[in-house]
Amino acid sequence: MIVDTAAYVDAQRQAAQDWSQALQARRAAGEGFVWIGLHDPTLEELTHLANELQLHPLAVEDAVRGRQRPKLEVYDSSLFLVLRPLEYVEETSQIETGELMVFVGDRFVVTVRRGRTRPLRDVRARVEAQPQLLRGGPAQVLHAVMDAVVDRYTEIDEEVARDLAAFEDEVFSGASRRDTTAIYALKREVQEMRRALEPLVRPATQLARAQLPFVPKKARAFFGDVLDHLVRTLDHVEGYDKLLTDLLNVHLTQVSVRQNEDVRKISSWAAIAAAPTLVASVYGMNFEHMPELGWHYGYAWALALILGVSGGLYAAFKRSGWL
Given this model, what pLDDT does residue 72 score? 97
Q: Are strands 2-9 and 12-15 parallel, antiparallel or unpaired?
A: antiparallel
Of the two residues 186 and 86, the one the predictor is more confident about is 86
Residues 109 and 137 in one domain: yes
Residues 23 and 156 in one domain: yes
Averaged pLDDT, 75-92 = 90
Q: By residue range, what is the domain housing residue 44?
A: 2-254
144-148, 201-205, 303-307: the lowest-pLDDT one: 303-307
Q: Are strands 33-39 and 108-114 parallel, antiparallel or unpaired?
A: parallel
Residues 246 and 273 in one domain: no
E-strand spans in 123-197?
none
In tens, the pLDDT along 152-170 reads 999 999 999 988 888 888 7
Cα–Cα distance between 111 and 100 in angstroms, integer?
Answer: 7
Which amino acid, 284? G
Do the beta carbons of residue 108 and residue 20 sit within 8 Å?
no
Cα–Cα distance between 319 and 323 in angstroms, integer?
Answer: 8
State yes or no: pLDDT of 282 exceeds 90: no
Residues 246 and 267 in one domain: no
Residues 171 and 50 in one domain: yes
Of the two residues 311 and 176, the one the predictor is more confident about is 311
Of the two residues 258 and 48, the one the predictor is more confident about is 48
pTM for the structure as a whole: 0.78
Residues 244 and 180 in one domain: yes
State yes or no: pLDDT of 192 exceeds 70: yes
- For the stretch 45-49, contacts whose Cβ atoms lie closer than 8 Å and that sit 24 or more positions apart, written own/partner, are 45/1, 45/2, 46/112, 49/110
Distances (CA, A) of 108 to 43, 71, 176, 216: 20, 20, 54, 15
State yes or no: pLDDT of 268 exceeds 90: no
In tens, the pLDDT along 211-245 reads 999 999 999 999 999 999 999 999 999 999 998 88
Q: What is the CATH number of the domain that holds 39?
A: 3.30.460.20
* Angle of CA points 149, 153, 154, to nearest 5°: 120
Looking at the chain, the whole-number percentage of residues with pLDDT higher than 70 is 93
* Residues pairing with 221 in the sheet: none
Q: Which residue, 229, 62, 46, 60, is CA-closest to 143? A: 229
Q: Is 56 helix (H, G, I), strand (E, B) or coil?
A: coil
Averaged pLDDT, 34-38 = 95
For all residues of the chain together, what is the average pLDDT? 87
Residues 209 and 276 in one domain: no
Residues 180 and 55 in one domain: yes
Q: Give, as one character, the DSSP assignment of residue 117.
A: P
Total count of domains within the chain: 2
Residues 188 and 276 in one domain: no
